[in-house]
């Protein structure tokens, strides 16, 4: 494997962990049961099962704290927890340094399973990331996807 020159390396939590109180879990349960009962009354048993499984999954994920992720930017691409996203698979990037005090690197890729990467860059100077990536990938203004905001709201 050829040597790669790592330009920037940092670690950050995948998302901000919000400790949920008992009221949040009660609300999740009430909404889940309401939707499940409604779908059963309408004759859609499969949807009721899916809703219950989704709620249990959300509750379990919201309870567990996020893992510390490792990020690297090198000559070859952007590495996240050991997974390399090469520059030829990256369509564009954007450094969002005015996002509620938490700067983020937004990356749009050609990959089907991970088309949008959102990396927290609190420990690194956003200007250095921007200046290094500009020479390798197109810089296009982007916003955080709504799905990511919803998942962050649920603490996932």
Considering its fold, how many domains does the chain have in total?
A: 2
C-alpha to C-alpha distances, 99 to 95, 116, 153, nearest whole angstrom: 10, 17, 15
In a domain, 110, yes or no: yes
Q: How far, in Å, CA of 101 to CA of 23, rounded? A: 28
* pLDDT, the chain, mean: 84
The answer to whether residues 59 and 80 belong to one domain is no
C-alpha to C-alpha distances, 122 to 9, 11, 71, 84, nearest whole angstrom: 12, 9, 12, 21
In a domain, 109, yes or no: yes
Residue-number span of the structural domain to which 133 is assigned: 6-13+67-148
Q: How far, in Å, CA of 106 to CA of 142, rounded? A: 7
pLDDT in tens, 52-86: 999 999 898 888 887 888 988 888 888 888 888 88
pTM for this structure? Answer: 0.69
List the beta bridge partners of residue 95: 105
CB 118 within 8 A of CB 71: no
The answer to whether residues 59 and 72 belong to one domain is no
């Amino acid at each position: 494997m050829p040597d790669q020159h790592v330009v920037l390396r940092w670690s950050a939590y995948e998302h901000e962990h919000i400790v949920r109180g008992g009221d949040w879990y009660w609300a999740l349960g009430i909404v889940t049961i309401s939707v499940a009962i409604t779908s059963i009354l309408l004759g859609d048993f499969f949807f009721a099962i899916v809703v219950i499984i989704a709620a249990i999954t959300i509750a379990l994920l919201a309870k567990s704290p996020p893992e510390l992720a490792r990020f690297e930017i090198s000559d070859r691409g952007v590495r996240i927890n050991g997974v390399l996203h090469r520059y030829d698979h990256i369509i564009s990037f954007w450094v969002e340094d005015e996002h509620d005090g938490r700067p983020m690197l937004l990356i749009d890729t050609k990959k089907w399973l991970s088309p949008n990467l959102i990396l927290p860059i609190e420990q690194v100077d956003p200007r250095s990331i921007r200046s290094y990536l500009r020479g390798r990938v197109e810089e296009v203004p982007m916003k955080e996807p709504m799905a990511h905001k919803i998942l962050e709201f649920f603490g996932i």
